[in-house]
A and B are shown apart, each in its own frame.
Chain A
Amino acid sequence: MALLEVKGLRAKVGDKEILKGVDLTVNRGEVHAIMGPNGSGKSTLANVLAGRLNYEVLGGQVLYEGKDLLAMKPELRAREGLFLAFQYPVEIPGVGNAYFLKSALNSIRRHRGQEELDAMDFMGIVTEKMKLLGLDEAFLGRSLNDGFSGGEKKRNEIFQMAVLEPRLAILDETDSGLDIDALKIVASGVNTMRAKDRAIVVVTHYQRILNYIVPDFVHVLVNGRIVKSGGRELALELEKRGYGWVEESAVS
């Protein structure tokens, strides 16, 4: 059984139909890249999968481990192992980074029937993952994303992913706004997460990040549909020839 199976997914935001029949199958152990021009619906797809409320599903089906993903509340999806690294993480003053993450982790652990972690065990896990992403202690004491730089926010998303250990991680433009050093750190963080029972979907504009996180499959989303799929080389070709080329070949 596939980890994620998206069939004919259609969704709208406001009055506008954005996803016009998306088909996508992701198996455990795979890394997929979804590329596409601005406004093609990449973030919409990611958010619909995570359960954001202001997106209305018009049709189609999404099976996650064989279960109807769209029927689950967002928190249940998270507890079942779905993780979205946001393109624009929100700032939440007054909520501590560390405490928030501990409570998230424990709610996921409770769901899995695992014992809750106390502060000591939690710190053990967190310290290790922070090293992985080159974050310092002070980071934990700050408010959630509050006043973080663009790069810090993205790193925090990947840090959260590392702590929460999802089975399906969707990274929405985690590479944007990162300088080359930060990109390498984030990519290596993601790479250590690659595992045979976990899948990662990387949403990006640029093939640059795919030099570090090498995908098994590349899909091109244009105007709410996946118009072309291929291997690693598709990303390189897109970089050379632009999206116009796929759009044309999709029509023909």
Chain B
Amino acid sequence: MPDADPREPYRSDFDRLERELFAGDPPWLMKTRRDAFAKFGALGFPTLKHEMWKYTNVAPLARTRFTPAAEIPGNGLAPEKLDPVVFGKFEGSELVFVNGRFSRSLSSKRNLPEGVWVTSLADALQEDPRAVEPFLAKTAPVDANSFTALNTAFLQDGAFIHVPEGKVVEDPIHLLFVSTAQPQPAVAYPRNLIVLEAGGQLTVTESYAGLDGGVYLTNAVTEAVVGENAALDHYKLQREGERASHIATLEIEQARASTVSDTSIALGGALVRNEVNQRFLAEGGELSMNGLFSVTGTQHTDTHTRIEHLTPHCTSRELYKGILDGRARGVFYGNIIVHKGAQKTNAVQTNKNLLLSREALVDSIPGLQILANDVKCRHGSTTGQIDEDSVFYLRSRGIDSDTARSILTYAFAREIIDLIRVPAMRATLGVLLLSRLPNSEAVREAL
């Protein structure tokens, strides 16, 4: 018997939701959904034959029947269930989403300047769809990635953040997406829209967390539109459950002289794909794109990044680090494209990986495509084990071997941790990383 077409269940889900849940959508949104779904139908799920999916096999996801989390009745949750995944001592606004849907009662908004919108996308679509229309699905193309197409077809909720011209949001904003175990595997489609008008400033962290170890899929898409002279500090902390899968794309567009810093941390999930795609649309932009993945057991985590210098005089710095233990598998694929005419581009891409076990494996594929002639670009990639001379140095001072290794592992990650300018997130990440290391108490003392 030939395998059933994995697209079929998605089609019936889409047909049903179109009649029911999405029935009240404005016509432009309905069209966006239909176009996106048609694209998914044409693309199907990627296979290992696709250049961009060569190292990550999504066949297990395609085979699993995930029901749309949008149809899970209710999204109530006792607030204390969030304790393990919220940031301690967090000052800013926090929007909480349970199985993809906004929870008003678990969320709080604080200290937002006049005119700044921080709300759920579903609410924004209800209250003022015309504020959303110019931005939604404009930065994240559906024709290159079937998961983005699916997200666009099925999107329901997420965060909508709009910072008007010149507004500075001082306190960081935390978007927390939690998933709870369901009787059937479920898929949520968080969709975030972050818009900074000229001169706006914003710090935002997306967290994704599993609360009770179920099998589920998060298919998330974030679009960030950063206006002239605007500054976005974006973070992501992915700590999905160990049987969960997480497929996410962040799409960033930068206008003239804008500044973006993105730091993405991937710790959880069985099968993870994280894409970050960025484009400089005008001169003078600056980008710092960083990340850390730390995986063990049989986890598979795939990071794909693309930075496009379409215009002259932009600077990008990329640093991704991976720590792999057990039989984990990691992928770093980075592509910097300097288009014709993008003179005076300055781009650096670095990937460093630390293998803690013999069975762990990482594929590192750094890349630069340079079509301009007056540029400064370089890239580098290193993969290795813990430096034994360093281990010996620490041991020669009385520190035992396990602790020495843990200290050196943490020290490797530290370069990325130190880039996090949200203290509550930095502290949380420090604790999370330490808790995975042998002799974490002794390591804490040594840092």
Contact = CB atoms under 8 A, between A and B. Distances in A.
B396 A90 contact: no
Nearest to B413: A94
Contacts of A160: 397
Contact of B398 (A53, A54, A96, A111): A111
Nearest to A88: B389
Contacts of B407: 95, 100
Contacts of A111: 398
Contact of B389 (A51, A90, A93, A96): A90
A52 interface: yes
B447 A74 contact: no
B410 to A, nearest CB: 7
A106 B398 CA distance: 9
Contact of A78 (B398, B410, B412, B447): B398
Given A94-B410, A94-B411, A79 B446 contact: no
A164 B397 contact: yes
A90 B398 contact: no
A197 interface: no
Interface in A83-129: 83-84, 86, 89-90, 92-96, 99-108, 111
Contacts of A107: 398-400, 442
Contacts of B415: 93-94
Nearest to A74: B395
B414 interface: yes
Contacts of A108: 398
B90 interface: no
A89 B393 contact: yes
Nearest to A91: B390
Given A79-B398, A108-B398, A160-B397, A92 B392 contact: no
B interface residue count range (under 10 / 10 to 19 / 20 to 34 / 35 or more): 20 to 34
B447 A95 contact: yes
A239 interface: no
Nearest to B447: A99
B388 interface: yes
Interface in A50-91: 50-54, 73-75, 77-79, 83-84, 86, 89-90
B24 to A, nearest CB: 53
Residue in A73, A74, A79, A164 whose Cβ sees the most chain B Cβ within 10 Å: A74
A92 B390 CA distance: 7
Contact of B446 (A51, A89, A95): A95
Interface of B is mostly: helix
Contact of A75 (B389, B400, B412, B413): B400
B411 A78 contact: no
B127 interface: no
Contacts of A83: 396
A92 B388 contact: no
B401 A75 contact: yes
Nearest to A77: B396
A104 B399 contact: yes
Contacts of B403: 103
B387 interface: yes
B445 interface: yes
A103 B446 contact: yes
Interface string B359-400: 000000000000000000000000000011110111111111
A78 B392 contact: no
Given A94-B412, A95-B411, A103-B445, A50 B388 contact: no
A86 B396 CA distance: 10
B408 interface: yes
18 contacts: A54-B388, A73-B400, A74-B395, A74-B396, A75-B398, A78-B395, A83-B396, A86-B396, A90-B389, A95-B407, A95-B411, A95-B447, A96-B447, A100-B407, A103-B446, A107-B399, A107-B400, A107-B442
Given A96-B446, A100-B399, 12 more contacts: A73-B400, A73-B401, A75-B398, A86-B396, A90-B389, A90-B393, A94-B412, A94-B414, A95-B407, A101-B397, A103-B403, A164-B398
